[in-house]
Chains A and B, each alone.
Chain A
Amino acid sequence: MATQILMPALSPTMTEGKLSKWLKNQGDTVKSGDVIAEIETDKATMEVEAVDEGILRQILVPAGTEGVAVNTPIAVVGEANEDISALAAGGKAGGAKPSPSKMAAASTQEPVAAAKPVAVTSSIPQETEYAGKTEKKTVREALRDAMAEEMRRDPSVFLMGEEVAQYQGAYKVSQGLLDEFGAKRVIDAPISEMGFAGLGVGAALSGLRPIIEFMTFNFAMQALDQIINSAAKTLYMSGGQMGAPIVFRGPNGAASRVAAQHSQCYASWYAHCPGLKVVAPYSAADAKGLLKSAIRDPNPVIFLEHEILYGASFEVPTDPDYVVPIGRARVARRGRDVTITAFSYSVKTALEAAELLAAEGIEAEVIDLRSIRPLDVATIVESVKRTNRLVTVEEGWGFAGIGGEVAMQVIEHAFDYLDAPPVRVCGADVPLPYAANLEKLALPQPAGVFSAVKAVMYR
């Protein structure tokens, strides 16, 4: 059957071009793959190949023509004795060839609001009040227990990372796991963050549940492409066919005197990306409950720990079924005068500031965010509606940070309740210095939070 050859688009941006040269003449036989013409696009001179076979019956657009719109019929290919008069008239072919108007894929659908809320807390299960037995555990032990319990529960869970097996963890978080689960499930990785992060994602795509430990999240920058492009985006890009149930965990933020390359907080980096969940617990109970939730979660979860908290002790539920839902903040201290949000180590800073404030008769409400994405906007907003004032605390840099996001959520949802502009207490906008005095100056301190609260209270 005779067909029209249309002016092709040969780049994502081309709308028209010059038909510079015909390489076949009328009457020539063409077969698929033959170069029949050259056209100049907005970028380069390109060759046009025939797709259909037959005789080049008629050239409709002569060589040298400029401004030929994409999808204009430029020639007709057909059999020797076929009637091509309808096609040769230059009209758009009907039937077999879809019309260009059908091609124009411009969506007529209503534009969708860009600002769909990041947090949809309604679908997140409420945390059930735990009334069972507890025992005193360090955060380090709580994390280990969470992994051990989940590995007992599900044989598809394995732990991989540098020094996690024989060395028992660079920070001894995986103490005893090699003994209990063996080298098949507790695996020492070479110093190849990008490689073993990618390996973990591949294993997760196939249905295993890897826990990938980074010795610190500073080293995960080497693996960022695998975390974002492979882990976070594949579910969407596959139309829901293939997700990565994987946990990336390790210490995040400043430790003590390890300077700029080992001290960064990555909460805002990961929280920026759809397709990831990001949690950053403070207490041992939350560390355990959230890590168990993270391991069971069918999505990639960034689990941000804190080196200085590893040795801190808290009461921890002993029930192996105790989990903390991802996406729920915790009110760490009740108060009526000001809302302070914090996560990870900053919760300690905020609580210490609250003590100082209490001495002056100011009752601060401290919200431990626990989950950065999804963010429990409802709990924050409900608190601010009562206190009318907001101070955010984080170790990370303020610019484009978590505090900025928290403040914006409050502005969107409780603007009329605010009695003062929110204030952010953040890491200083410098690479973290080594010197003890400078390091202290660079990180949020209770005194800084104290001052910020005084400022939002105009006192």
Chain B
Amino acid sequence: MVQKARSLSPTNQRASGANGNSRINAKNADESLHSPAILLERYRSMLLIRRFEEKAGQLYGMGAIGGFCHLYIGQEAVVTGIQAALIPGDSIITSYRDHGHMIATGMDAKGVMAELTGRRDGYSHGKGGSMHMFSREKGFFGGHGIVGAQVPLGTGLAFAHKYREDGHVCVTYFGDGASNQGQIYEAMNMASLWKVPQIFVIENNRYGMGTAVARIAAGTKLYKRGEGFGIPGRTVNGMDVTEVEQAAREAVSAARKGQGPYILEMETYRYRGHSMSDPAKYRSKEEVADMRDHHDPINHVAKLLEQAGVDEEKLKAIDNEVKAICSDAAEFALASPEPDASELWTDVLVEA
């Protein structure tokens, strides 16, 4: 693949490579991102998300989680890399494939899992479920079930950062499927017009539910979708946490400086179906196997760590540690009682 840097200046965008892919120039990359200590942190964060999702999938299979459940497995490098570029006080908003985002922001795995099981100790006391969870403390503003609706909300969060002049940014995640929602362009227009600190992160996992991007998008270079509004954008290898983090740092830094919004199109892949009940017949087994075997974001970091001389036992210990967190979370989520019947009527309105 062609390696090219993409300028932050909207007037200096270049398409690169036949597949529209571009990579951050290695010489611009912060070498410290490759240090074993940093990579170990990222490895642990990504693995925690994966093990959490595997556990969630298992609980769904046991009937302990109901309704819809959209797993993030395969896409872990995206939220992990982005979150690494943020500071407390920044805000994050996404749609319904949101468990990874919550774990990445530092929300407690127990509270997230207990919400998945619809129990009292869940983040929303069992009233939101998989697609609707929030944490004001962690700056996580949901968790939204309507495709694309979180994007104007994110512009509002970014607007509030600018209004308060607090120096924070809002990262707004959406998928390739949502990229064809009209309200996203209303939001981009306003975000750019008012130069609000909003980073649009498009998690392009190639399929909006079961429909491949090229089948429903007249232009598949989603990072260019802000061009008409003067919003710079670029693609990033969303299977490489270091590249994600590097790109996020640049976009976040520009936004913090008042340069306005930025689009990062993450080329990523979900291993599982759209939701638990999706047999994923719209793609070949070979395609999935290739991504798992040759592009897995966690294996990639594991290899780098091995090359850097980190003991395999060390990685195994991390795996055991995060597995324990997820097992504890599952146990907690199954032991937590259902919400009290009186909870049916609470939280409809704030009592003034």
Q: Is B106 an interface residue (CB 8 A)?
A: no
Indicate if the CB atoms of A200 and B156 lie closer than 8 Å: yes
Indicate if the CB atoms of A195 and B155 lie closer than 8 Å: yes
Indicate if the CB atoms of A205 and B153 lie closer than 8 Å: yes
Indicate if the CB atoms of B277 and A43 lie closer than 8 Å: yes
Q: Is B62 an interface residue (CB 8 A)?
A: yes
Q: Is B187 an interface residue (CB 8 A)?
A: yes
How many residues does chain A have at the interface if contact means C-beta atoms less than 8 Å apart?
A: 77
Among candidates B134, B160, B189, B292, residue contacting A192 with C-beta atoms closer than 8 Å: B189
Stretch from A236-244, A283-291, A427-435 forming part of the interface with B: A236-244
Q: Is B317 an interface residue (CB 8 A)?
A: no
Instruction: Report A371 CB to chain B, min CB distance, Å.
Output: 13
Q: Is A259 an interface residue (CB 8 A)?
A: no
| Residues of A193-235 whose CB lies within 8 A of B | 194-208, 210, 225-226, 229-230, 234-235
Indicate if the CB atoms of B151 and A198 lie closer than 8 Å: yes
Stretch from A5-13, A54-62, A145-153, A407-415 forming part of the interface with B: A5-13
Indicate if the CB atoms of A202 and B279 lie closer than 8 Å: no
Indicate if the CB atoms of A6 and B62 lie closer than 8 Å: yes
Tell me which residues across on chain A come within 8 A of B42, comparing CB atoms: none
Instruction: Report B199 CB to chain A, min CB distance, Å.
Output: 14
A411–B118 Cα gap in the complex (Å)? 37
| Residues of B125-154 whose CB lies within 8 A of A | 125-128, 132-136, 141-146, 149, 151-154
Instruction: Tell me whether A196 and B186 are in contact in the complex, defined as CB-CB below 8 angstroms, given that A33-B292, A234-B142, A242-B141 are known contacts.
Output: yes
| Residue among B186, B189, B276, B346 with most chain A CB within 10 A | B186
Indicate if the CB atoms of B64 and A199 lie closer than 8 Å: no
Q: Is A170 an interface residue (CB 8 A)?
A: no
Indicate if the CB atoms of B163 and A184 lie closer than 8 Å: yes
A106–B66 Cα gap in the complex (Å)? 12
Tell me which residues across on chain A come within 8 A of B54, comparing CB atoms: 32-33, 49, 51
Indicate if the CB atoms of A239 and B277 lie closer than 8 Å: no
Indicate if the CB atoms of B334 and A238 lie closer than 8 Å: no
Instruction: Report A110 CB to chain B, min CB distance, Å.
Output: 7
| Residue among A14, A41, A203 with most chain B CB within 10 A | A203
Tell me which residues across on chain B come within 8 A of A109, comparing CB atoms: 338, 341
Indicate if the CB atoms of A242 and B62 lie closer than 8 Å: no
Indicate if the CB atoms of B156 and A243 lie closer than 8 Å: no
B residues within 8 Å of A by Cβ?
51, 54-55, 57-58, 60-64, 66-68, 73, 91, 93, 117-118, 122-128, 132-136, 141-146, 149, 151-161, 163-164, 182-183, 186-187, 189-190, 193, 271, 276-279, 281, 292, 327, 331, 334, 338, 341, 344-352
A sample of 8 cross-chain residue pairs with beta-carbon separation below 8 angstroms, ordered by A number, consists of: A32-B54, A104-B63, A199-B155, A201-B152, A206-B157, A239-B122, A239-B123, A241-B124
Besides A71-B62, A241-B123, 20 new A-B residue pairs in contact (Cβ under 8 A), listed by A number: A8-B61, A32-B54, A33-B271, A102-B334, A105-B118, A194-B152, A198-B152, A199-B159, A199-B187, A202-B153, A205-B156, A206-B157, A208-B164, A230-B153, A237-B127, A237-B142, A238-B134, A239-B125, A275-B349, A298-B350
**Nearest 4 A-B pairs (CB), nearest first?**
A202-B156, A8-B61, A198-B152, A195-B186
